Amino acid sequence: MNLSFLSMRVKSFRCATSGIIQATKTELNLRIHFAAVTAVTAAGFILGLSQQEWIAILLLFALVISLELINTSFEKLCDVIDPEYNNPVKKIKDIAAGAVLWSTVIAVIAGIIIFAPKLLIIFK
Ligand SMILES: Nc1ncnc2c1ncn2[C@@H]1O[C@H](COP(=O)(O)OP(=O)(O)OP(=O)(O)O)[C@@H](O)[C@H]1O
């Protein structure tokens, strides 16, 4: 492994990190998702999730945040290619937003399945 290979990898990592930061700065939905990740993580530590429950939660964090980043990327790509308001762009943006909505609904259902029994024991 030579130095230029390593510096290229570091550069890629920096670019990808900058992409996440830029998207988080401009997209309210992404900030809401990151706030949810923080709140669920705190609740997970407080309520003592099992190893399997943490893995499920972490995979859902990865899915929802990744889809929101891809959705943001699609929106920006559409705005560059065709800034005018039109039906094809509406369909593309709506479908990409639908992917985020679908994963979020599934994540919320999984969250209820994992957290509800623990909360019921506490508030019984
Ligand atoms: N150029 C366009 N042509 C047609 N419809 C558009 C266009 N831009 C936005 N829309 C409509 O507005 C919605 C929101 O698009 P926008 O690019 O404003 O993303 P946003 O405000 O970040 O919302 P979200 O991330 O929740 O989808 C789209 O799903 C689409 O229905």
Q: Tokens for 119, please give them.
A: 């909360």
**Annotated catalytic residue: which of 30, 33, 68, 107?**
68
Q: Supply 2's token pair.
A: 């030579």
ipTM of this predicted structure: 0.90
Q: What is the pLDDT of residue 3?
A: 72
Exposed e or buried b for every residue in 81-117, given b needs 16+ CB within 10 A? Answer: eeeeeeeebeebeeebbebbeebbeebeeebeebbee
14-52 per-position pLDDT tens digit: 999 999 999 999 999 999 999 999 999 999 999 999 999
Q: In CATH, which of 3.30.2420.10, 1.10.287.3610, 3.30.2350.10, 1.10.560.10 is domain 3-123?
A: 1.10.287.3610
| Whole-number pLDDT of residue 1 | 63
* Protein residue whose Cα sits closest to atom 14 of ligand 1: 93
CA of 12 to the centre of ligand 1 (A): 29
74-99 tens-digit pLDDT = 999 999 999 999 999 999 999 999 99
- Domains of the chain, residue spans: 3-123
Q: How many CA atoms lie within 13 A of 75 on its CB side?
A: 15
pTM of the model as a whole: 0.91
pLDDT of residue 65: 98
